[in-house]
Structure 1
């Protein structure tokens, strides 16, 4: 009998963990969303953040609605991912306010209507919260399979690795050091954790993951 391929294993895990998170009751989802908000208030990595990219909850993902309301109350700018209209497979991050006009994209997920002056370049964001289907003990992330975040954040991940290198400050010019890369943080339910995920070369591991009960720091793996 042939061993399953990496793609087959990933698709099987994707289905399993999607079903797990969708099995949570409305009450459990609300409790998890409130716990996420309390985590945000205490995490040192969020201190001083002024521009935060986040996502609209879909398919049983950890709800971000209470956190978004809190960010607005603190005058923190909120941005949502929008499918890039010209570069297939990539995302743009567009300003999201209480007055934003929204449209459903090809996946049925609500996005702010795309207006060029409301786009925030990725390197000008302070934090990017990403959804995920599953994660493991090394910070590997399994997404929905479209690769949108992996493509969009590839440069961010490489830059973070450079900045963690002691020689980076010596090699980089002043203009390069003026703005650090945004902090990447995955959001997930506790039941989305597994021991180990099969990975592909293009996968971007996350330095931090937040669940309703825990904060994971994987920077030592990078």
Structure 2
């Protein structure tokens, strides 16, 4: 097992070990930190994920976005393009289904897709992170492939923000050439 796989396994165990109360407290603290983020109030189109496998729960952020009349989108596995994501509008009435990984995503997404380049902010889950903005995901490369245009064309939009529990921070991550850098990483404690 390589260093990234070993770290991935260790960090996933740590975040899954958090109690429901710890998860709920972290989710509400996260919302407080997000609300203070420069530019977040001007953003109209935000992509967010639904938590899985002990990920920091952004549900309070989703509810706040709806209250603020922001458009919320969820990642959906792209049915035609290998290992890429679509972003589909998400409301309280969106019918949901489980994808091949058991993660909830909007069912029948074709009418409400927003191109990745047209999103203002993307909040994405992390398995581990470092203070230099390095991100370790689940290993599928979905976000890196979907947002490779940011690195290729030095695009300023969307703003990619990683979400993680503070306990997922490591000193330094092994970074690969295909890793798309994040604007910042937000935990239940602070913004890096």
Find the residue that maps to 2:52 and give its secondary structure.
Answer: coil
- More helix as a share of residues: 1
Instruction: State the shift of 1:45 in Å.
Output: 3.2
Q: Is the 8 A contact 2:84 2:142 kept in 1?
A: yes
Q: Is 2:184 aligned against 1:208?
A: yes
Q: TM-score scaled to structure 1, two decimals?
A: 0.83
Alignment RMSD: 1.2
Instruction: State the shift of 1:156 in Å.
Output: 2.3
Q: Is 2:172 aligned against 1:196?
A: yes
Structure 2: 5+ residue stretches without partners: none
Separation (CA, whole Å) in 1 of partners of 2:35 and 2:119:
18
What stretches of structure 1 move > 3 A for 4+ residues in a row? Answer: none
Higher Cα radius of gyration: 1
Q: Is the 8 A contact 1:22 1:59 kept in 2?
A: yes
Structure 1: 5+ residue stretches without partners: 1-6, 164-179, 217-222
- CA offsets, 1:59-91, max 9 Å, x none? 000001111111111110000000000111000
Separation (CA, whole Å) in 1 of partners of 2:35 and 2:174:
33
Q: TM-score scaled to structure 2, two decimals?
A: 0.96
In the alignment, which residue of structure 2 is the partner of 1:186? 162
Separation (CA, whole Å) in 1 of partners of 2:34 and 2:17:
25
Separation (CA, whole Å) in 1 of partners of 2:152 and 2:51:
27
